[in-house]
Amino acid sequence: MSERLVTTGARCELASPTAMPQASAFLWNPRLLLQVNCRGFVTAQHLQPGPAKYSHAPNLEARSFMQPEQPLYAHHPGRFVYLRDEDDGTLFSAPYEPVRRRPDAFRFSAGVADVRWDLEHAGLRLRWQVELPPDDAVELWTLVLENIATRTRRWSAFPYFTIGYMSWMNQSAAFRPDLDGIVARSVTPYQKLADYERVLALKDRTVLLSDTPPASWETVAAAFEGEGGLHDPDALREPTLGGGAAAYESPVAVLQHRVDLPPGERRRFRFLFGPARDDAEITALRRRYLARDGIEAARAGYRTFLDTGRGALRVDTPDPEFDAFVNHWLPRQVHCHGSGHRFTTDPQTRNFLQDALGMCYLRPQDCRNTLLTVLEQQEPDGALPDGIRLVPDAELQYINRVPHSDHCAWLPLTLVAYLDETDDYALLEERVDGASVLERVDRAVAFLIANLDHRDLSLIAQGDWCDPMNRVGHRGQGVSGWLSLATVHALRTWAAICAAAGRPGHAERARAAAAPITAAVQSRLWDGDRFARGITDAGRTFGVRADAEGRLFLNPQSWSILADVATPVQVRAMIEAVEAELETPWGPQMLAPAYTQLVDDIGRLTQKFPGSAENGSIYNHAAAFWAEALFRCGEADRAFSVLRRMIPGPGDDDLRRRGQLPVFIPNYYRGAVGSHPRTAGRSSQLLHTGTVSWYYRSVIESLFGLRGERAGLRIRPALPSAWREARAERRFRGATVRVAYRRDAVETPTVEVNGARLAEPLIRDVEAGRDYDAIVTLPETSAP
C-alpha cells in the first residue's frame, strides 16, 4: 500500500479509516444518489419521482435538501459486513464501522463507476464494492473473501444493511422464502386525503436480495443488537441468526453466509439492496441483476451512461492532481448535477440553469432542453418561477416558496455558454408556447429592467443568488448590489447574443438599459475599494468599510469585473481588499468578518454559524465567480490559485484539514479563519454546488483558452506562469483539437494549427470529425 494518505487518478484511494472519518465518494444514476462514507455509512436518496429514502435513519429525517456537514453516528444508515471467525469467535467488521477494529490493511477506493474497500485482516483479504445500474434505483454489492492464511479457515460473513425507521404508520420486515430475500414493508406517512393515491403508488418496500441462499437471517433491529449494540451485537454470539420478523418495529436486513476457505481460495457473494413497489418488481430485479452476468451487464450499462457525460477536455499539466480532477472528477460532478437536478423534482431555477451551463460541454442537447423547459414555465410578466417543476405534479417547496429576484439573470448567461459551444442560433427562433425563444428571453431581460427602483438599482425581494438574504428588501424597497451588477452582466450578454444573431435593435435596447444601472452602482455603491452588497429597505448601505461585520462581500467585486463595470483602478483596489480581508489558505471567504449576531435588516444569512455556508465560508460557488473575474482582468496566477485551492490536497496536511477526498468540489469550506481557526478549511461534504459548471467553463475557456464563438474556436490561454508547458485535448463541435502549450522567447502568444501560423488565434469554421493540432507558444515569464 502507498505511503501516502491519498492517491489520485481515475481512482482516488484513502489508506486510513480514521484520518478523514467524514471522507466520502458518490455514485449516481438518474434515479439514485449514494454518498458513500469511507467507514461504511451511506446516505442514499432516490426519486419516485419525489425525493425519498429506503435506508432510513432511526428518526424521521428532513428531506428539504441535501445538507452540509451532516454528522455520522453509530446508527447512521450503513452497509457493513460483520466477519466472525468460526474457530475462535473473534469478530471484526468491514469496512470499519460498526465494530471499529482497525484492519491490518485498509483502502477506501473511489472510482468513477464504483466505490470499494480492500481490506486485509486476520488472514482474510476482503473486497466490499458497490456499483449502480444505469437507471434503476438499486445498489449492487459484491463481497469477495479470500483466505491469505496458510491453513483452512472457517468464517461467517454477516452483511448488514440498514433499513431503519421507515414510518410511524406501518412498518414490518421478514425473510420471504418465495422471493429469497428480506423484504421490509411500510406506508409512507401522510394525512391529506389528496395524498392517498400518490402514496399507494410509492416504492414503500426496502429489499435485500442475495445471489446465494443465506444460512440464517434477522430483520428485527433490536433483536439483532440486543444489549451489545451495533458495536457488538448479541445476535452474533449465537451460531445462527434468530430469523425474526419485524412487526411494527424498526427493521434491519442481516444475512449469514458461511464460508470454509482453504488457503488461497476465494468466495464471491452478490447482493441487491434498494426500494421496490411490489413482489413483481422484486422478482424482476433479482432476474435482472442477480442472474448470471447480471452485474456485469449493469456495469457495462453504467459505463455507457457515464460515457454520455464524457468531458470535453483532457489535460496534461505539471500538476498531476489537478489533471486527475479535471479529467475524471470535475466533468463527472457536472454530469451528476446536470442529470440528477440535485435529486429534487423542483430544482431552484438558478441552480437548474447553472447546472445546465456545465452540460453544454458534455451533452449540449441537455442544456438546450433545460432552456426550453425553463421558458415553458415563464410567467406572463417575463419573470421566471423560483423553482422548475420537472414532473407534472411537482410542487414548489421550501426555498422555492420564497420570492427571489435574480432568476432571469441566469438565462442569458446559460444561453451564451450554449451558443458559444454549439453555434446553434436556430434555438432563438424555436417557439415555446406561442413566442420564440428570442422573444421570451427578451421578456425575461425586460423583467430585470422593470425590477429596478427609483435609483436604477435592482430590488432584492427576499433574496437573490444569496438565498438566505431574506430581510434586506422584504418590504419592497431594499436593493441588491450584486443583482444590479448581475443585471448589467445579463443585459450586456444578451446584447452580444442579439448582435451575433443579427438583431441590432434588441442588442441596442439591452445595451442602453445597462447604462443607468452601471451609473447607479458607481455612484451609490462604490466605497473606496469595494462595491457594497446592497441597500436595505430602510436605506442602509451594507457590505462597506464602516461595517463591523460583513464589511466586504466577494460577489459584488467579482461581478463588477464580469459585468465590465469596474474601472482598472477599481479592479486593483478590489483585488487588494479581497486579498487583505477575504483570502485564506483554502480560498477566498464569501464575506468577512462573518456575522456573529443577528442583523435584522439582512436576515437569515446572519443567523448561520460564523464561517459556515453563506455566512463567511469559502463558498466555492462565489470563489468560482472570483476566479473567472480574475481571468477576465488578466490575473492568471491569482485565478489559477483560486481554482486550485478548491480541490483538496495534494498534501496530507491539507487533506486532513479539509477532511475530504479530491473527488468533488464541496459546497463550501469553513471560513471565519480569525475567530474559528480550528475548523477553518473543513469541507461541508455537500456535493451539491453551482460551482462546478463555472469551474469547468473557466478551465476550458479561460485557463486553457479554448472558447467557442460564432466564427470558430478562439485560443487565448491564461496558464499560470509556473507552467512551462501543458497539453490539452478539447472536443468542440464534433472536432478534436489537440493543443501543445509551451513557453519560449516570444513577445506575444503565437498559434500554429496543422503546421500553419494563424494571424488571429481563431480556428475558423471548425469541421466535425476533423482533428486539429495546435501549438501555442507563450511568452516566457519570470516565475520559477
Give the interface with ligand CEZ as residue ranges (CB under 6 A). 65, 348, 350-351, 399, 465-468, 613-614, 667, 688, 690
When the beta carbons of 493 and 555 are compared against ligand CEZ, the nearer one is 555
Strand order through the sheet with 756-757 = 313-316, 725-732, 735-744, 771-779, 750-753, 756-757
Task: With both helix axes pointing from N to C terminus, report the angle between 410-422 and 349-359 in degrees, rounded to the nearest 10.
Answer: 10
Nearer to ligand CEZ, 315 or 642 (CB): 642
Helices of type H across 600-707: 620-632, 636-645, 652-658, 691-697
Question: CB within 8 A of 266, min separation 6: which ones?
Answer: 125, 144, 145, 146, 147
**H helix or E strand, kind and range, residue 577:** helix 568-581
C-alpha cell of residue 284: 424482476
Measured from the CB atom, the residue of 156 and 615 that comes closer to ligand CEZ is: 615
Active site residue 467: yes
| Neighbour order of strands in the sheet with 251-261 | 91-94, 79-85, 153-162, 251-261, 216-220
Least Å distance, CB 390 to ligand CEZ, is 15
One-letter identity of residue 255: L
Tell me how far, at minimum, the Cβ of 688 lies from ligand CEZ, in Å.
Answer: 5
| Cα–Cα distance, 372 to 379 (Å, whole number) | 14
Minimum separation from the CB atom of position 392 to ligand CEZ (A): 23
**C-alpha span between 682 and 20 (Å, rounded):** 11
Residue 59 Cβ, how far from ligand CEZ at the closest point, in Å? Answer: 21
Backbone angles phi, psi at 340, to 5 degrees: -95, -15
Of the pair 95, 387, the CB lying nearest ligand CEZ is at 387
Report CA 3 to chain centroid distance, whole Å.
29
Query: In the complex, what is the shortest distance from the CB of residue 478 to ligand CEZ, in angstroms, rounded to a whole number?
Result: 16
Helix H, strand E, coil C: the string for 428-494 is: HHCEECCEEHHHHHHHHHHHHHHCECCCCCEECECCCCCCCCCCCCCCCCCEEHHHHHHHHHHHHHH
Q: Give min distance, CB of 496 to ligand CEZ, in A.
A: 24
> Which residue in 467, 564, 637, 654 is the catalytic one?
467
Closest approach, Cβ 115 to ligand CEZ, in A, equals 23
* Residue 174 or 490 having the CB closest to ligand CEZ: 490
Cα separation, 663 vs 72, in Å, equals 20
The residue (of 14 and 629) whose beta carbon lies closer to ligand CEZ is 629
Residue in the structure block whose three cell numbers are 472528477: 329
Contact 44, 53 (CB under 8 A): yes
Question: With the C-alpha atoms ordered 338, 342, 345, 349, is the resulting torsion angle positive or negative?
Answer: negative
* Closest CA relative to residue 425, chosen from 482, 335, 498, 515: 498
Q: How far is the CB of 263 from ligand CEZ (least distance, A)?
A: 51
Residue position matching grid coordinates 472510482 = 111
Nearest to 269 by CA among 140, 150, 177, 183: 140
- Cell numbers linked to 127: 473486497
Contact between residue 60 and residue 71 where contact means Cβ atoms under 8 Å apart: no
CB of 537 to ligand CEZ, least distance (A): 20
Q: Are 17 and 106 in contact (CB under 8 A)?
A: yes
Instruction: Give whichever of 412 and 690 is closer to ligand CEZ, judged by the CB atom.
Output: 690
Please name the residues in contact with 730: beta carbons below 8 A apart, sequence gap of 6 or more.
Answer: 312, 313, 700, 704, 706, 713, 736, 737, 738, 739
Backbone phi and psi for residue 605, each to the nearest 5 degrees, phi listed first = -50, -40
CB 556 within 8 A of CB 532: yes
Is residue 623 helix, strand or coil? Answer: helix
SS3 32: strand
Distance CA 78, CA 160 (A): 8
Query: Nearest residue to ligand CEZ, using CB?
Result: 467
Gyration radius (Cα) of the chain, Å: 28
Q: Which residues are catalytic?
A: 467
